[in-house]
Amino acid sequence: MSEINKVVLAYSGGLDTSVIVRWLQDTYKCEVITFTADIGQGEEVEPARAKAQALGVKQIYIDDLREEFVRDFVFPMFRANTVYEGEYLLGTSIARPLIAKRLVEIANETGADAVSHGATGKGNDQVRFELGAYALKPGIKVIAPWREWDLTSRETLMAYCEQRNIPVDFAKGKKKSPYSMDANLLHISYEGGVLEDPWTECEESMWRWSVAPENAPDKATYIDLTYEKGDVVAIDSSAMSPATVLATLNKIGGENGIGRLDLVENRYVGMKSRGCYETPGGTILLKGHRAIESITLDREVAHLKDELMPKYASLIYNGYWWSPERLMLQTMIDASQAQVNGVVRLKLYKGNVIVVGRQSEQSLFDSKISTFEDDGGAYNQKDAEGFIKLNALRMRIAARKGRKLL
């Protein structure tokens, strides 16, 4: 294993990745470079520096990627109204291609031979990290310790720490969340613990970003979202950066009990997995974006986007963000957003996001045509007769030939 001289590790500073630092040093006899990404997880990332230093790491990268994350990954995904399996807003999935990109960039900057991550061999993240790394740097070596070592539990990880004097924050008997959690500006996820039984309801204390809908304010909150080319650029007429938009919507949505989800999903590796998610800002973004598209997009363009969206969602969920097919779809999706400009007014109330208004200078809604009142000849209702008969022609022919439907 001496061919590995340097490896860049996606490092959180937690138990698993702290063990991985020492394991890489011991197993591959290589220099470890750590990379910690701030993508809005809501926790201080700077302490990871001291932990890495205590493990003998000399090159430490701690990068604030919040704006890039929302601008270049979250917003493009929401232009497609992306939902996986009808419900999941892909909060974990969309963060992985950015982390993979930065791992490769650091490997190029430092002359590293390999990259490494702390994803297990059971989950989707191993696929997402590695597909991204190989797409961006085909010859890169990827080291996935969970697929190589014999450390199979928290107890064996702790024993490894004790044997090698690895400083970690966890101690035997110290209270720890029973859930495996992942957070960024788009969402926070919960897995494990009682959630491994799909019949068991999670306890209320698990949720961190939102109040229960029944405990949300009794008075509705109204917000106006301003869109330019499919992206929110202002809230209540106040211009904001992409990351600030999402952080603001997370706060407003969480206060109104919005964005909770309990889901059993199909992982790419084949198993079903239950997870709970809080995505308050994303839930608002999805509702608002569909509302502004409803008045600005041509019917067939909107329907084609809806037909392609499940494929686009699967590409992101399964780790193919950097694939040519996702890039091709993105080009089409972005082109569709040229006229998606305007303002959407939303009413937030006890877990609900309700569209109450939408307006745009590019609106295709023509009240003179759609009115129930006198349209002054804007629409000739007699035209509908021939239209209907032509569309019924094939069915009328079949019926005359004796093809029974009942």
**What are the pLDDT digits (tens) for 14-25?**
888 999 999 999
Tokens standing for residue 222: 């109204």
Cα 60 to Cα 37, 57, 74, 264, distances in angstroms: 11, 7, 26, 37
pLDDT, tens digit, for every residue of 146-172? Answer: 999 988 887 898 899 988 888 776 544
CATH 3.90.1260.10 describes domain 180-297+339-359 = yes
Q: For 338-392, what is each residue's pLDDT tens digit?
A: 999 999 999 999 999 999 999 999 999 998 888 888 888 888 899 999 999 999 9
Is 125 marked active-site? yes
Decide: 145 and 115 in contact? Cβ < 8 Å: no
**More reliable by pLDDT, 380 or 311:** 311
Least confident range of 13-17, 37-41, 316-320: 13-17
What radius of gyration do the chain's Cα atoms show? 25
66, 96, 102, 128: which is the annotated catalytic residue? 96
| Per-chain mean pLDDT for the chain | 94
DSSP 3-state assignment of 208?
A: coil
Q: What is the pTM of this model?
A: 0.93
pLDDT over 70 (residue 75): yes
Task: Give the CA angle between residues 350, 356, 360 to the nearest 5°.
Answer: 140
Give the helix/strand (H/E) hosting 312. Answer: helix 299-317
Residue 16 is among the residues annotated as catalytic for this protein: yes
Residue (of 285, 279, 125) closest to 208 by Cα position: 279
Residue-level pLDDT at 377: 86
Q: What is the location of CATH 3.40.50.620 in the chain?
A: 6-70+92-164
β-pairing verdict for 188-191 and 180-183: antiparallel
Q: How far apart are CA 8 and CA 116, in angstroms?
A: 6
Residue 150 CA to residue 132 CA, distance in Å, equals 26
Q: Residue 311: pLDDT above 60?
A: yes
Record the tokens describing residue 402, joined without a space.
Answer: 């004796």
- pLDDT score, position 252: 98
326 noted as active-site residue: no
Interstrand relation of 231-235 and 221-228 (parallel, antiparallel or unpaired): antiparallel
- pLDDT level of residue 317 (50, 70, 90 thresholds): very high
CATH number assigned to the domain covering 6-70+92-164: 3.40.50.620
What is the pLDDT averaged over residues 275-286?
97
| 274 in catalytic set | no
Catalytic choice (125, 189, 210, 260): 125
Catalytic residue chosen out of the listed positions 63, 180, 294, 323: 180
| Options 12, 16, 182, 273, the catalytic residue | 16
Q: CA-CA distance, 13 to 183, in Å (whole number)? A: 14
Query: To which residue do tokens 């199979």 refer?
Result: 152
Long-range contacts of 222-226 (CB under 8 A, 24+ apart): 222/345, 222/346, 222/347, 222/348, 222/356, 223/252, 223/284, 223/345, 223/346, 223/348, 224/343, 224/344, 224/345, 224/346, 225/284, 225/288, 225/292, 225/343, 225/344, 225/345, 225/346, 226/342, 226/343
